[in-house]
Amino acid sequence: MANIITRRSTLMLGASAAAATALGASPGAAQIQRAAVTPPSWPIESGATLRMLRPVRFVQPDEEVFRANCARFTAQTGVQVRVDFVGWEDISQQTAVTANTGAGPDVIIGFNESPHIYVDKLVDQSDVAEYLGARYGGWLPMAQRYGKRHNSNTWIGIPFGASGGPLVWRKSAVNAAGFQAPPEDHAGLLDLCRKLKAANKPSGFALGNAVGDGNGFANWLIWSFNGFLVDPDGRVAINSPETIAALEYLKQLYETFIPGTVAWGDISNNRAYAGQELWLTSNGVSLYFSLKNDPATAAIAADTEHTLMPKGLASASPMAGLTLNAMTFRHSRFPNAAKSLIAFLMEAEQYDPWLQANLGYWSQPLANYGASAVWTSDPKVSVFRDTMKSDYWLGYKGPISQASAAANNEYIMVQMCAAVAAGQSTPQQAVREAERRAQRHFRAR
């Protein structure tokens, strides 16, 4: 999918991007407040060209607007930018190769923990972050967590956005069960799920090897009981009364689920929900849009509501999202050009159209973009606006590291929950097994 942006393709891209934004909400950018902060000067190296890697789009306008933004950067600075769009499953490996060989792209927009793993190979981006933070009302809590090096104020990544997975539910079914909206407490949620099951309109959450949905639900469950996998120093702390209580609760909740959730992948709940077999689950905004855009399922979309995951015992809804995290490599010969590009892409003229093009799939890391037209374009996506206001992250409460990423990708939390739900283990056995596996990843090296 490599594409070298030339002057000729710039014109075409600009035209298609203009068409894309015209189709979407109002062109915007005007309502985004910005403080009068002078940008730091990054004298662009002569003859600079940049290569960038980022994950493939969710929706077509994402790519078009992104390319158009880079083309505008080229037009203003003369720096050629080549953007390669990489499959989601490959970007971590390509980042690893880039970091280890010291060759390849200057800038990579990776996922979540990548800058924390390759911190020694990255350019300090504190000046970019401080400028953007001052200009756009400050970085949201999750953005600070992912952008800054652990226990320091050094920015190693510039978060571009995050995608969350709140509760997705059918208004008709929840109302028929006697609830205006899903309750915020555990007992209330259990009551709702029991009534949904009795009405033969069951709920269900992925407990299979599903990186996004499975971890999302398992993390919510443990965090909403104030349990956590590792403490702030990175020591395994899953074996706690809070976790046991969460798993005991799950045993009751699981009885109300639609059968088969232990075998669910990331797509299974989308299919079951679209097939009207599932009436309450958690998912990203993609489910809603796929229903809305298909005339056959538009009625389901009209009956669909999003709310944040129940708080349970926590003070805020426990939810961590998938985060885009941009890093600049030290091997880049043009670090100033790279910083300029990242700052340029985060400016309202570029970032707001991109946010709108993504329809709510990605949620902003900077506070002032909360006023973007995308969040009022459809009232049902407004819940995604505050995805990065969350105080949780993947690997909560420990440092973000290779270990926290591995624990996530090894489904340690999901499988602990699934083993209890399926009746294979007692909560105590499952917690000990999770502890044993986590200790391997979080061991000192």
Partner 1 sequence: MQQAGAPARWVPEKREQTWLAWLFDWKPFLIVICLMPAVGLLLVFLTYPLGLGIYLAFTDATIGRSGVWVGLENFIWLAGDPIFWGAVFFSVFYTGVATVLKFALGLWLALLLNNHIPFKSFIRAIILVPWIVPTVLSAIAFWWIYDPQFSIISYVFVDVLGWRDTNIDFVATAWPARWSLIAANVWRGIPFVAISLLAGLQTIPPSLYEAAMLDGATSWQRFRYITVPMIMPILAIVMTFSIIFTFTDFQLVYAITRGGPVNSTHLLATLAFQRGIPAGQLGEGAAIAVSMIPFLVFATLFSYFALARRKWQQGESND
Asked if residue 111 binds partner 1 (CB under 8 A), the reply is: no
Q: Strands across the sheet with 49-55, in order? A: 3-4, 80-86, 49-55, 107-111, 322-328, 158-163
Q: Is residue 251 a contact point for partner 1 (CB under 8 A)?
A: no
Toward partner 1, which CB reaches closer, 293 or 424?
Answer: 424
Q: Does 330 bind partner 1 (CB under 8 A)?
A: no
For the segment 213-242, give every residue that binds partner 1 (CB under 8 A): none
Q: CB-wise, 367 or 406, nearer to partner 1?
A: 406
Closer to partner 1 at the Cβ: 240 or 409?
409
**Residue 285 or residue 405: which is nearer to partner 1 going by CB?**
405
Find the binder of partner 1 among 74, 112, 224, 261 (CB under 8 A): 261
Taking CB under 8 A as the rule, does residue 53 contact partner 1? no
Q: Can residue 358 be called a binding residue for partner 1 (CB under 8 A)? A: no
> Is residue 418 near partner 1 by the rule CB under 8 A?
yes
Cβ pair 65, 14 in contact under 8 A:
no
By CB under 8 A, is residue 405 in contact with partner 1? yes
Member of 58, 73, 85, 118 binding partner 1 (CB under 8 A): 118
In the numeric block, which tokens belong to residue 199? 């009405």
Going from the C-alpha of 400 to that of each of 71, 118, 205, 407, 409, the distances in angstroms are 33, 12, 26, 11, 14
Of the pair 341, 413, the CB lying nearest partner 1 is at 413
Q: Which is nearer to partner 1, 122 or 140 (CB)?
A: 122
In the complex with partner 1, which residue's Cβ is closer, 178 or 259?
259
Tell me whether residue 162 or residue 278 sits nearer to partner 1 (CB atom).
Answer: 278
Name the β-bridge partners of 108: 53, 327
Of these, 144, 268, 283, 350, which contacts partner 1 (CB under 8 A)? 268
95 binds partner 1 (CB under 8 A): yes
| Beta carbon of residue 134, minimum distance to partner 1 (angstroms, whole number) | 32
Q: Least Å distance between CB 263 and partner 1?
A: 4
Task: Point out which span in 10-18, 158-166, 243-251, 264-272 binds partner 1 (CB under 8 A).
Answer: 264-272
Question: Which structure tokens are listed for 51?
Answer: 């290569």
Residue 189 binds to partner 1 (criterion: CB under 8 A) = no
DSSP bridge partners of 169: 280, 305
By CB under 8 A, name the one of 20, 117, 142, 162 that touches partner 1: 117
Binder of partner 1 out of 48, 142, 258, 359 (CB under 8 A) = 258
Per CB under 8 A, does 300 bind partner 1? no
Nearer CB in complex with partner 1: 235/440: 440
Sheet holding 167-170, edge to edge: 280-282, 167-170, 304-307
Rule CB under 8 A: say whether 87 interacts with partner 1. Answer: no
Q: How many residues bind partner 1 (CB under 8 A)?
A: 40
Q: Please, what is the minimum distance in Å from the beta carbon of residue 402 to partner 1?
A: 6
- Segment near partner 1 (CB under 8 A); pick from 20-28, 137-145, 340-348, 400-408: 400-408
Q: Interface with partner 1 includes 130 (CB under 8 A)?
A: no
Cα–Cα distance for residue pair 158/346, rounded to 1 Å: 9
User: What's the closest the beta carbon of residue 431 comes to partner 1, in angstroms?
Assistant: 14
Q: Which stretch binds partner 1 (CB under 8 A): 29-37, 154-162, 373-381, 404-412?
A: 404-412
Binding site for partner 1 (CB under 8 A): 92-93, 95-96, 99-100, 117-118, 208-209, 211, 258-265, 268, 271-272, 275, 277-278, 402, 405-406, 409-410, 415, 418-419, 422, 424, 433, 437, 440-441, 445
